[in-house]
Every structure is written in structure tokens, then in C-alpha cells.
Chains A and B, each alone.
Chain A
Amino acid sequence: DIQLTQSPSFLSASVGDRVTITCRASQDISSFLAWYQQKPGKAPKLLIYAASTFQSGVPSRFSGSGSGTEFTLTISSLQPEDFATYYCQQLNSYPLTFGGGTKVEIK
């Protein structure tokens, strides 16, 4: 199984900060990586797929990069509505797997 390791698992940041979340895969997954945002009590929401392609409607302050085994999600200027938990997911091979999540909280 492909393991996804997200770091950090928790981060405290202020509105306007630049935030970077890393997702490392235990083996090469090419660009078969997606990022999701989840707010408390809500379903996850797709942000980015194929490592760097925006889902329609996602603000441009979100960006994704990487390929192979190392990926990043960057929020260029954190907004109040961005405080949430973020998950990466690999779709390269079965079983499909998610990272452990990164909780972004207000400093």
C-alpha cells in the first residue's frame, strides 16, 4: 500500500500568512495526487487534482505542486475561511489512500 505522510500535522498561522503543507508518498505516484479541504462537521471539498490543477471555483491563493513522491499545497495569503483540515490523496494505485491531515488553526 502507498503511505502518504503529511507535515506538519498541525500548524498555527495568522490571516495573511503564507502556508505550505507537504505530502510525501512512500513510492512514486506520478501526479496522481489530490488535495481536499474539510471544515468541522462538513464533507471534504476538492481543491486541487493531478497535483497542480485547480478545481473550478477554488480561489487562486491555493496552489499545488510536485510529482513523484513529494508534493506541496500552498496558500499564498491565509484567509479566515481557510482555517480547516487539509488532506492529500493518492489515486495512483489501489488501495486509494489519504494522508493523515493537516489542521490549520488561527494563531
Chain B
Amino acid sequence: EVQLVESGGGLVQPGGSLRLSCAASGFSFSDHYMDWVRQAPGKGLEWVGRIRNKVNSYTTEYAASVKGRFTISRDDSKNSLYLQMNSLKTEDTAVYYCARGSGLWFDPWGQGTLVTVSS
């Protein structure tokens, strides 16, 4: 079964940092692009960023709202995806999902992990 499981969410103060992880199983992780998407409470979906696979040099793309503050990385040997979030703002409060990406879809998605930025 293809599965993604996020972890690392929690409460952090404004200006703080947090690192999210996404553990993948059931598919060839190293072959795929991976994405992060977030959803603020009661709001819609916002794409955060993408990391491509080794064939595509692990290059990354980011939404303007997080560029320069968030960094996506991966460890193919551990089938794991990461989101390093620095200089967090209250508006970064959201459920963060990882998803297996492609040029045509995001599938599947993890169950999400809640990040709350508050003093």
C-alpha cells in the first residue's frame, strides 16, 4: 500500500523554527517528485513547494509566501521528505500535508500534521 505519514508538527512561537518529516512506503520513493501543501484552519489548499527526483537533480520550487524561509529536502536512502520551516509567522499556522507529485497529479496525500504558530 502506498502510504505517506507526516510528523513533527506542534506549537512554535513566531520567529521560531520547526522541521516536518514525511515517511513514505509502498512505492519507489526515489523515482518521484514530492510536494508539500498546507491548509490553514477553515481555509482552502495552498501549495508550499516541490522537490524533484535525483534524475532532475533534486531541484526545488517554492510558493512566494514561503520562499527564503522554508527549505524542502529529501533522503532517498530513508524514503523520507522534509520541510524545514524558519522565521515562522502566525499566518503559517496550518495542517501541512506531504504528497507524491507528478506533472499531472498529487497522489496520495499524507494524513497531515498541524503546525500552530502562536505566542
- Listed in ascending order, the chain A residues whose CB lies under 8 Å from chain B are 1, 32, 34, 36, 38, 42-46, 49-50, 53, 55, 87, 89, 91, 94-101
Contacts and interface: CB of A to CB of B under 8 A. Distances in A.
A95 B47 contact: yes
Interface size class of B (residues with CB under 8 A): 20 to 34
A36 B71 CA distance: 26
A21 B58 CA distance: 36
Given A43-B97, A95-B61, A95-B64, A87 B106 contact: no
Contact of A49 (B46, B61, B105): B105
Residues of B contacting A: mostly = strand
Interface stretch (B7-15, B24-32, B79-87, B109-117): B109-117
A99 B63 CA distance: 15
Interface of B: 35, 37, 44-47, 50, 61-64, 97, 103-112
12 contacts: A36-B45, A43-B97, A43-B111, A44-B37, A44-B109, A49-B105, A50-B104, A55-B105, A91-B104, A95-B47, A95-B62, A98-B46
